[in-house]
A and B are shown apart, each in its own frame.
Chain A
Amino acid sequence: MDNVIRRRTLGARLGRAALYATLLLAALFYLLPLAVMLMTSVKPLAEITPGTLLSLPRDPTLAPWAKAWGEACTGMRCEGVGVYFFNSIAIVVPAVLISTLIGALNGYVLTKWRFKGSELVFALMLFGCFIPFQVVLLPMAQTLGWLGLSTSRAGLILVHVVFGIAFTTLFFRNFYVAVPTELVSAAKLDGAGFLRIFWRILLPVSAPIIVVSVIWQFTQIWNDFLFGVAFSAHNSQPVTVALNNLVNTSTGAREYNVDMAAAMIAALPTLIVYVLAGKYFVRGLTAGSVKG
């Protein structure tokens, strides 16, 4: 939109100044918690006292980060959150890829191969977005037991895929609705098959929505604590569980700087994804779900 007032009157200049001031103030509000985390994570323990949360570190050190990554103790294991970080990656990557692929195929069927009742099917699947996860904890545990997958990495991946496909299907369906059906019909007349049409016509234009699906799933699964803690064993716990063990241990001298460094480490992957790909995320999301 183009409604900027270009005349440089005094009033306009004041208005511009007020505009920037408001935006910067808002930015401060959003940055405050992250700034506190970051600054606390590089302070020596002695510098962390009440009322000085926002003071700059006088003697910055990376030691808390090193400790959080490789030495901090959770329970009897003193190997930091690094190990758990890789557990998370091993769960997140397959879960994101599988749920995105399934979502794409579902969206494709639901828009380009409609059949009687396909709208109902979509409505039924959508409900999966809204189910509170605490509700499914016990039945899921039992199901994983039946499948012989309890406490395994495969089990956690399954859980994340199961409760992720509702979202990914929603994204892809809403995106593919906007892809002209004529293209698909023409290809069908030419004798192109189901997968060929998907591969040649839909997939090449799907980049924006794949980005959305991947970012969304990545954030959801990486940040998950409830499933991670309930369906893991000592050797498959994701990084959020390790972070919780570190931060929620309420005895002994707490090393707040190490806690914060561990929190930053756990947050880094999603932060990086948002900073690098946030633009595409918003663009793709509006291309899809908003305009419906």
Chain B
Amino acid sequence: MSLSRWAAKPAAASGSRRSPSGLLQAWLPKLVLAPSIAISLFFVYGFMLWTFILSLTGSRMLPSYDFVGFAQYARLMANDRWWVASSNLVIFGGLFVAICLALGLLLAILLDQRIRQEGALRTVYLYPMALSFIVTGVVWKWLLNPGLGIQAMVRGWGFENFRFDWLVDPDMAVYTLVIAAVWQASGFVMALFLAGLRGIDDSILKAAQLDGASLPSIYWRVVIPCLRPVVFSAVMILSHIAIKSFDLVVALTGGGPGYASDLPATFMYAHAFTRAQIGLGSASAMLMLGGVLAILIPYLYSELRNRRHG
């Protein structure tokens, strides 16, 4: 659609030059971009369309094309597990984003106080982003398991009544996901904030100090408002991590106890691949994509608006 509109105006940008090489020069930028456009049209939009079509079918183990209308969506709405997964995403996503922002900002402000060994500390905070849960999953499972990890350790130190058994508690299991996810991403957010802090013009701060404002109030009223663009980028990155969270659940809780810590991504995978319900899995994928869109549209809007300004 957009491709054809784009291709329909070949001469618009070519200006007045008519020599073959001039024509090539005029076309070159678009030629360079064309493969990427084709790729995203096919591999992103084509696949989304394909998934949407599958969500209207009764596909089971492999795709088939017996259309059943919106029956899969109706089944999804009637599925208790889907609602558990969706509400878990709200809890998990909300807490994950909020804690990462708060912790990231706090650590960035603290690190910005002319700390010795700042580089080393920064690397320590940042490194979890380099590791996948395929690698760290087993360790996290150990640490959070009451009989093996932190609870057993603290009890071993003599605190016999210490309890940390969220992993096996259906009401709390989703919060263990938050802990591990915060561990992975908060250092990254810290780094974004730190760079943002370093970018703030000193003269603004000097002026505030001359006015006699206290340090906390300078941060609260002057510095943090300056970081708004960083907050915005961080929220976007974090919410996209939250929606895609998959390895984390598989490695840590397997969705359990029961299916108390299931997330939409694991729901979709379980149904489309393990349970031979590709139709239902596709329907849940479409709803997930809808969620992504709800986050992405404001982002894109602001991206494009910014471009007009600059």
Contacts and interface: CB of A to CB of B under 8 A. Distances in A.
Contacts of B137: 247
A270 B98 CA distance: 27
B159 interface: no
A124 B2 contact: yes
Interface string A101-129: 01001101110010111111111111111
Given A119-B304, A273-B130, A1 B198 contact: yes
A165 interface: yes
Contact of B32 (A105, A140, A177): A105
Interface in B253-272: 265, 268-269, 272
A278 B135 contact: no
Do most interface residues of chain A lie in helix, strand or loop, or is the interface mixed? helix
A109 B41 CA distance: 18
Contact of B132 (A225, A256, A286, A291): A225
Nearest to B302: A292
B13 A121 contact: no
A127 B187 contact: no
Contacts of A19: 110, 113, 115
Interface string B291-307: 01001100010011011
A140 B46 CA distance: 10
A199 interface: no
A123 B303 CA distance: 9
A14 B278 CA distance: 61
A4 interface: yes
Contact of A133 (B196, B218, B244): B244
B102 interface: no
A282 B285 contact: no
B143 A163 contact: no
Nearest to A129: B240
A121 B28 contact: no
B206 to A, nearest CB: 8
Given A128-B44, A139-B50, A30 B296 contact: no
Contacts of B136: 33-34, 37, 263, 267
A50 B200 contact: no
B90 interface: no
A125 B37 contact: yes
A129 B236 CA distance: 11
User: Which of A27, A52, A131 counts the most B-chain CB atoms under 10 A from its CB?
Assistant: A131
B130 A267 contact: yes
B108 to A, nearest CB: 11
B54 to A, nearest CB: 8
B127 A274 contact: yes
B12 A115 contact: yes
Interface residues of B, number: 109
Size range of the chain A interface in the assembly:
35 or more
Nearest to A218: B130
Contacts of A34: 127, 131, 136
A223 interface: yes
A133 B244 CA distance: 8
B51 interface: yes
Contacts of B278: 138
Interface stretch (B72-80, B148-156, B168-176): B148-156
A23 B118 CA distance: 10
B29 A283 contact: no
A32 interface: yes
A72 to B, nearest CB: 15
Interface in B30-52: 30, 32-33, 35-37, 39-48, 50-51
Interface string A264-289: 00110011011100110111011001
Given A110-B33, A223-B131, A278 B122 contact: yes
Contacts of A274: 123, 126-127, 129-130
Interface in A1-38: 1-5, 19-20, 22-23, 26-27, 29-34, 36-37
B140 A33 contact: yes
Contacts of A162: 39, 43
Contacts of B105: none
B310 A271 contact: no
Contact of B195 (A3, A115, A260, A290): A290
Given A33-B183, A51-B156, A177-B307, A22 B110 contact: yes
A240 interface: yes
B123 A278 contact: yes
B233 A289 contact: yes
Contacts of A163: 43
B127 A128 contact: no
18 contacts: A22-B110, A33-B139, A36-B139, A106-B33, A113-B13, A116-B12, A127-B45, A131-B44, A134-B265, A139-B50, A193-B28, A223-B135, A260-B138, A270-B130, A274-B129, A278-B127, A283-B195, A286-B196
Query: Which 10 pairs of residues, A with B, have the shortest CB-CB distance?
Result: A286-B195, A223-B132, A113-B29, A51-B152, A270-B130, A274-B130, A282-B191, A194-B28, A139-B47, A109-B29
Given A134-B285, A282-B122, 14 more contacts: A3-B218, A19-B115, A33-B183, A34-B136, A36-B143, A106-B36, A124-B2, A127-B44, A129-B240, A138-B272, A166-B44, A263-B138, A274-B129, A292-B310
